[in-house]
């Protein structure tokens, strides 16, 4: 039986964290990539979003993190290797120890502390994530 492309596309559920320290936000990107995203990763079966975010930070940076309040949800659709792709991002407040270096433990990614005033140059994806950083708290942002 032939299914439409949209029925064959999986929808991934991802936990992402907003970590801001000293006017900088922690961002992640694939090595050699031109866009950044909030740190985090896939929620595994049986995990909560907070548990997944804490686990991913331990695996990817080697830090003991705390996942705080759910800030919001971002749906995202795009094409990956020519195929439709969709994800639902659960976005949490993320706390890691102050002064943590942006060092990755996995060889395919890298982290950076980016000035909040320089978010446009970071090419943060999905673009809607930016609202968690710059919108007033009443509108779901952290900083205003």
As annotated, the active-site residues are: 110
Calculate the CA dihedral of residues 29, 32, 35, 39 and round it to 10 degrees: 0
Dump the DSSP string for 54-113: HHHHHHHH----EEEEEEEEEEEEEEETTEEEEEEEEEEEEE--TT-----SSTTEEEEE
Cβ atoms within 10 Å, residue 143: 14
């Amino acid at each position: 039986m032939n299914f439409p492309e949209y029925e064959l596309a999986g929808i991934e559920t991802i936990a992402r964290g907003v970590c801001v320290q000293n006017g900088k936000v922690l961002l992640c990107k694939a090595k050699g990539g031109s866009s950044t995203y909030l740190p985090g990763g896939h929620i595994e079966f049986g995990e909560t979003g907070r548990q997944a975010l804490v686990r991913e930070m331990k695996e990817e940076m080697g830090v003991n993190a705390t996942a705080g309040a759910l800030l919001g949800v971002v749906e995202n659709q795009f094409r990956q290797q020519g195929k439709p792709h969709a994800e639902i991002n659960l976005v949490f407040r993320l706390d890691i120890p102050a002064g943590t270096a942006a060092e990755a433990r996995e060889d395919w990614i890298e982290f950076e502390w980016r000035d909040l005033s320089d978010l446009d140059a970071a090419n943060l994806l999905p673009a809607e994530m930016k609202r968690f950083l710059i919108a007033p708290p009443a509108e779901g942002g952290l900083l205003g």
